[in-house]
Amino acid sequence: MRAAPLIVGAGPAGIRAAMTLVAAGLRPVVVDEAPACGGQIYRQPLIPDGRTPAGRYGSEAAKAMRLHTEFAELRDRIDYRPGTLVWNLALGVAHLTRDGKSDSIAHDGLILATGAMDRVLPVPGWTLPGVFSLGGAQIALKAQGAAIGRRVVFLGSGPLLYLVAWQYLKAGVNVVAVLDTAPFTAKLRLAAGLLLDPRTLLLGLRYAAELRLAGVPIRFGVEKPEINGDGRVDSIGWAEAGRVGHLACDAVAFGLGLKPEAQLAELAGCAFVFSERDRVYVPLRDRAGRSSVSGVYVAGDGAGIMGADAAEAAGERAALALIEDRGLAFDAGRARQLESALKRLSRFRDVMAAAFPFPHDWRIADDTTLCRCEEITAGEARAAIAQFGIREINRLKAVSRIGMGRCQGRLCSGAAAELLAQETGQGIDAAGRLRGQAPVKPVPLSLMDRISEVAE
């Protein structure tokens, strides 16, 4: 009897992939770290908190409830394992942990729908209590019904900046300001998105307009942000068009877009290619989601940042590819429709990238912590680069310990690559990417013997 296909992740891509496989008569295993389906964007609360779906998800409530309901209807036709971490992939076997216990699953077909995480570049004060990533601030609000502070500043760039600020405003939190690192002139490029995805674009403009109407200052072209506080955040300063700004606050939500969570794709042996748009290496895939490894498919933001609607389409398309590769009947017309939709959404993502450009001139001060796990400063990293003539990020890791902490470089690797590129005068692609290692995320010490066995 053939092993079941395995889906890692139960966000929009994973849910749609599961629905498609079930419709083809397969019974997939669905493994997800979260206690309930939905992913980051449609995350469900840990306990009922009295809020309606509209109060939690805003304009996306209908989509969230549809996916939650559709996934619930699959429960007796899938092997669903929530609250479970896939910490390693090797030779057609996934190694799991849940509640401190280890397990493994052989699979025949693997769809990686692992999602994304915040991209953060260190700024002075970013390790102070009261500083959260934009995604972390959103999780607190969605999953726990809690705000990260009473007077919150939102700093960074990307559509998520305005979405989370708007969500906090609607939750009754005092949004002190939105500090956008992109210049206002970049927003003029949004007009090109009207024909590609008018609903999403108009929603974003609505969020910004409602923030403005509520009296929230929105500043553009913000440079040199500095978060201040004695033991906790109490203010933020920045430069803007030759002027200096300063605001009192008790929390800061910070992020410069998203980057794929692609560690499992590497452990599965997938080839990677550099994405200029995402400024990071992403798994190589064809239009259907097939990776370079037979039987391994990648979908959603874990394969390149495209958003929730694209994740749904990519999850379904990857599942159709798996079905086709198994020799089962599949809907070729539907596959073409999905590919066309993904092509259009990719063009829309190009528009978003142009409207919210990465701050290429960002420079991390020498005394600012670069790797918070190992407490390595940017100055120490620069000294290592100069002393040993380092031009590649894995060499920098070996010399400086950057990326050797509990986050496995998931948080600091992007910033380290940017710093290395600046110091050597090479492109960010030439800096390379940290090699993935198991476990991809921290696991209980009780599993160390099991990890050693797998490594051997």
Burial 95-129 (b: 16+ CB within 10 A, else e): bbbeeeebeebebebbbbbbbbbbbbbbbbbbebe
Confidence of residue 286 (pLDDT cuts 50, 70, 90): very high
Q: Is the pLDDT of residue 157 over 90?
A: yes
Sign of CA pseudo-dihedral 85, 88, 92, 96: negative
Tell me whether strands 79-81 and 85-90 are parallel, antiparallel or unpaired: unpaired
Confidence of residue 407 (pLDDT cuts 50, 70, 90): confident
Minimum mean pLDDT among 42-46, 82-86, 199-203, 300-304: which range?
A: 42-46
Residue type, 447: L
Q: Is the pLDDT of residue 375 over 70?
A: yes
Model pLDDT, residue 454: 64
Residue type, 104: S
Determine if the pTM surpasses 0.85.
Answer: yes
Domain ranges for the chain, please list them: 6-117+259-330, 120-256, 363-456
How far, in Å, CA of 173 to CA of 152, rounded?
Answer: 8
CA 430 from centroid of its chain's CA atoms: 22
Instruction: Say if residues 157 and 356 touch (Cβ distance below 8 Å).
Output: yes
Q: Average pLDDT, stretch 312-319? A: 98
Confidence of residue 1 (pLDDT cuts 50, 70, 90): low
Model pLDDT, residue 452: 65
- Find out whether the peptide bond into 439 is cis, omega within 30 degrees of 0: yes
Quick check: do 6-117+259-330 and 120-256 share a fold?
yes
* 120-256: CATH number: 3.50.50.60
Q: Average pLDDT, stretch 333-347? A: 97
Model pLDDT, residue 456: 60
Average pLDDT, the chain: 94
- Any idea which fold 6-117+259-330 has? FAD/NAD(P)-binding domain (3.50.50)
Q: Is the pLDDT of residue 331 over 70?
A: yes
Q: Is the pLDDT of residue 241 over 90?
A: no
Q: Is the pLDDT of residue 445 over 80?
A: no
Angle at 241 between CA 238 and CA 247, to 5 degrees: 30
What are the two backbone dihedrals, phi and then psi, of residue 455, each rounded to the nearest 5 degrees?
-65, -30
Q: What is the DSSP string of 386-406?
A: HHHT--SHHHHHHHH-TT-ST
What percent of the chain lies above the pLDDT cut of 70?
Answer: 98
CA 16 from centroid of its chain's CA atoms: 18
Q: Average pLDDT, stretch 322-342? A: 97
Sheet strand arrangement including 93-98: 85-90, 93-98, 101-106
Minimum mean pLDDT among 212-216, 411-415, 434-438: which range?
A: 434-438
Minimum mean pLDDT among 24-38, 150-164, 219-233, 437-451: which range?
A: 437-451
Q: Average pLDDT, stretch 106-121? A: 96
182 three-state secondary structure:
coil
Secondary structure E strands in 147-250: 151-157, 174-180, 218-219, 223-229, 233-240, 243-248
